[in-house]
Structure 1
Amino acid sequence: MDEKDGARRRPLRADAQLNEDRVLRAAAEAFTRDGVDASVKDIARAAGVGVGTLYRRFPSKELLVEATYRNEVRALCEAAPILAASSPPREALRTWMVRFMEFMAAKHGMAAALRVVLSDEGERLQTRTDLTEAVHHLLGTGVARAGVTARDVLMALGGISLIAENDQDPELAVRLIDLLLNGVLKAPTVSA
């Protein structure tokens, strides 16, 4: 994603990359469910790897949290052009918004550790820029109402995630996404 990542990482063998991908998926699920108290042993078990394999790649839980966060951001950003190319605009944007909520749930689960790991303000701003560009890509088809910006949509999604995090209704985020979509997208034209 950035030079810092590329400078410290060598390309992995295919089997090692597959193991890392499974670890990062399992870690995201565990951090979403259990927060930073998630068990590294449970993450390794869910990924189908040994604890030693996990620790060789991520020597500390903080490094695992950081890698999980970066992986989730990268996947979310990469999803935007794929969704825009493969789905109708409203469906692509809605699907991406739901994925964003899943990302935010994982991020909230890792929040305490992320404050330490991601202390660089420039890095947080770059993440916001990357996510804003992903939304811009999805809005780039001309489906948004005049005056709606990608940053507006991203900030609204952040607000929805905060509300949903503190509510006991698991469907609240999806209902609020649908309300946001109705405000963001142009009204459909009716043909006679």
Structure 2
Amino acid sequence: MPTSPRGNSPAPPPRRTDARVNRDRLVATAQEVFAELGPAASLNQIAQRAGVGPGTLYRHFPNRQALLAAVLRDRIERLVRQADVLTATEPPDDALAHWLRALLAHARLNQGMGSTLMVEEPGAPGLDCHRLILDAAAGVLTRAQEHGTARADLAAADLIPLVAGIALSTTHTADPTQPARLLDLVLDATFTTPR
């Protein structure tokens, strides 16, 4: 551990580390608060829950859209990593089915955030995020197609709107099992043999 110039005590960690820790804590806290209260949640409340002052929040995220984009990007990166893990560890059909379930959960959780970003900051993070999801979907789908069990005429660009449509259409459903049942119908249409 580095010592101070006088050599008698450890030097404090570099500011960069503290800044990174604060940023990560803000993103994690914002994820929780946005999930609870929606994308219009108080930024001051997020800072308070993260244990930092509002000035720290605004140094990292100059406005709500920047924080929403960071939260959404973090969630999408986790979703993409999940596709990679499933591809490496699961049979092709299972990887595709599990990842589409994860995509549905992501779409249901992030509906308000994505639409708020698109309305308030057109084109900024949406296109890159969409491309990441499309590429991940293409990876798990192509593997199942190469295995011969997923329809060859299906494209990732077909699956994503189907899953997003399920998320949107079941936002206020009284039946909590409906999203999974609808996704099962999509999966039945995706595979060439019954699962």
Please give the TM-score of this superposition, normalised by the length of structure 1: 0.75
The letter of the residue matching 2:30 is A
CA contact 2:72–2:114 (8 Å) conserved in 1:
no
The letter of the residue matching 1:139 is L
CA contact 1:33–1:109 (8 Å) conserved in 2:
no
Which entry has the higher C-alpha Rg, 1 or 2?
Answer: 2
Report matched runs for 1:151-170 at 5 Å. Answer: 151-170=157-176
Shift of 1:76: 2.0
Please give the TM-score of this superposition, normalised by the length of structure 2: 0.74
Shift of 1:182: 1.8
The 10-residue stretch of structure 1 (156-165 or 14-23) with the greater mean CA deviation from structure 2: 14-23
Shift of 1:35: 1.5
Question: 1:81–1:103: structure 2 CA closer, same or farther, 3 Å change rule?
Answer: same
Determine what percentage of the aligned residue pairs are the same residue: 31
* Root mean square deviation of aligned Cα: 2.8
- Structure 2, unaligned stretches of length 5 or more? 1-14
What do residues 110-160 of structure 1 show as CA deviations (whole Å, max 9, x unaligned)? 255313443128x53443332121111111222312311111111111111
Aligned twin of 2:190: 184
Shift of 1:13: 4.2
Aligned twin of 2:73: 70
Larger RCO (CA under 8 A, 6+ residues apart):
1
Question: 1:128–1:161: structure 2 CA closer, same or farther, 3 Å change rule?
Answer: same
Aligned twin of 1:109: 112
**Aligned counterpart for 1:32 among listed residues 24, 32, 35:** 35
Aligned twin of 1:150: 156
SS in structure 1 of the partner of residue 162 of structure 2:
helix
Q: Distance in 2 between matches of 1:178 and 1:21?
A: 36
Shift of 1:41: 4.1
**Aligned counterpart for 1:119 among listed residues 104, 118, 122:** 122
SS in structure 2 of the partner of residue 36 of structure 1:
coil
What do residues 93-114 of structure 1 show as CA deviations (whole Å, max 9, x unaligned)? 2332232223223432225531
SS in structure 1 of the partner of residue 170 of structure 2:
helix
Q: Distance in 1 between matches of 2:187 and 2:167?
A: 15
Aligned twin of 1:93: 96
